[in-house]
Amino acid sequence: MGRVLHFDCFSGASGDMILGALLAAGLPLARLGEALAGLLPPDCRVTAEPVRRAGIAATRFRVEGAAEAHPHRTVAEIVALIERAPLSPSARDRAVRLFTRLAEAEATVHAVPVGDVHLHEVGALDSVVDVVGAVFGLEWFGVDRFVASPLNLGHGEVECAHGRLPVPAPATARLVEGVPVYADGPAIELTTPTGALLVTGHASSYGPLPPLTIERIGYGAGERDVRGRPNVLRVVVGTEVDPAAAHHEDVAVIECEIDDMNPQLYGPLMERLLAVGALDAFYAPVQMKKGRPGILVTVLAPLAGRDALARVLFEETTTIGVRYHVARRECLERDVVPVETPWGPVRVKVARRDGRVVNAAPEFDDCARLASERRLPVKDVQAAAWLAYGRLARSGGG
């Protein structure tokens, strides 16, 4: 059974709210401070304090002493900051990808090259800390997947470096494309660019809390205490329950055939489909009318994500129609077992049916990372991981 972290964004989302919620759910502040040490100048520190928002006890995360005269940076400058933080390679890569994605959204909004984008509010040190710290914290919980409720964006206007803009701010609107959103509550910004970036950069699906046994709950507080509404973001961490039910589910199968699209566009299409929440996607060659060779695009989607993924197909391809049907799928129970190789740890994904192991595979990214670090063939690291798992399984530990 897998472990899940659910973002409940009923009052929106921001980077500091997410970090506050993670700290409230058990992330040690000292570990967070260590992970951010390379980012923070000597006069800065991170703090967490208990507060109340509309009667709800929550944790407020702050970066103290981070005031800057000119809080704007390019992506290259932010990446240089991230490189100084003692993060795992996977956390560092994710943080860099998130800021690159944010810069791409800003570049689209302002019609300038990505390299010329200066991130203003989101380039400030406290915002960089929010994003990098949240990436570290979300990895610290070691969950298998992230789920989020639809995002409450708020409405009205927001003051930023470019003047007063409508909510959602243009960059936020770009970041939540293809994601279920709504606007409810007071006329203020509820989901910030950092919140939108972190939630959409982690969540693989959107909807209500899935069936699970709750292990941890944390409430992260926003800066303001909004009348009549708890300005908090909630995270719930737990283990999926009822394997028979949890691993049988209905999914939407969305398809279209294309015979007139530049092949270079299929790579970005796949990336966008997976980013928006596709459970799987694949291409197959087909013979179409008039004797034309074409490509069959098939997307597996959560039922709640069908509209968002159909929108991606219309936006990113030349198709003028898609079809879909509902299918029942069964997934094996999965968990991750760490093993030790002569060159370092490797995670092994173990799949079971009715409690019996039917498949196990070393995580390729772990093997590739160790192979690169030790200048070894990847297949040698894979073989060592297989041997280590075999020894563990024979001893009853796998």
CB-based contact 27:228 (threshold 8 Å): no
Q: What pairs with residue 217 in β-bridges? A: 236
The overall pTM is greater than 0.85: no
Name the token pair of 103.
């810069």
Number of C-alpha atoms within 13 angstroms, CB side, residue 200? 32
CA–CA dist 159, 149 (Å, integer):
26
Q: Does domain 248-330 have CATH number 3.10.100.10?
A: no
Q: Each residue's pLDDT tens digit in the chain (398 positions)? A: 689 999 999 999 999 999 999 999 999 999 999 999 888 888 888 999 999 998 899 999 998 876 654 456 777 888 888 898 899 999 999 999 998 888 787 777 656 655 555 554 554 778 889 999 999 999 999 999 999 999 999 888 766 655 577 888 888 888 998 889 999 888 888 999 999 999 999 998 888 888 889 999 999 999 888 777 899 999 999 998 765 555 677 899 999 999 999 999 999 999 999 999 999 999 999 999 888 999 999 999 998 889 999 999 999 999 999 999 988 888 888 888 899 999 999 999 998 887 788 889 999 999 999 999 999 999 999 999 999 998 888 877 66
Domain boundaries, the chain: 3-243, 248-330, 333-394
Choose among 388, 387, 389, 370: nearest CA to 378.
370
Helical pair 89-110 and 193-202, crossing angle rounded to 10 deg: 130
The pLDDT of residue 299 is 96
CB-based contact 179:206 (threshold 8 Å): yes
The pLDDT of residue 368 is 94
The pLDDT of residue 71 is 59
- Report, in this order, helix, strand and coil percent for the chain, each rounded to 5: 35, 35, 30
Provide the 10 A C-beta neighbour count for residue 248.
Answer: 12
The pLDDT of residue 124 is 73
* Distances in whole angstroms, Cα of residue 328 to Cα of each of 79, 212, 243, 368: 43, 21, 15, 34
The pLDDT of residue 340 is 92
CA–CA dist 324, 389 (Å, integer):
41
Give me the count of residues in the chain.
398
Q: What pairs with residue 79 in β-bridges? A: none
Provide the 10 A C-beta neighbour count for residue 174.
Answer: 19
The pLDDT of residue 247 is 64
Tell me how many helices (H) and strands (E) the chain has.
12, 18
Q: Taking the CA atoms of the chain, what radius of gyration do you get in angstroms?
A: 22
Name the token pair of 70.
């000119």
The amino acid present at 263, given as its one-letter code, is P
Classify domain 333-394 by CATH number: 3.10.20.300
Name the token pair of 193.
């660019």
The pLDDT of residue 7 is 96
The pLDDT of residue 115 is 57
The pLDDT of residue 373 is 92
Strand pairing report for 157-160 and 323-330: unpaired
Ordered DSSP codes for 274-331: HHHT-SEEEEEEEE-GGG-EEEEEEEEEEGGGHHHHHHHHHHHSS-S--EEEEEEEE-
- Match 């989607």 to its residue by tokens: 301
CA–CA dist 272, 295 (Å, integer):
17
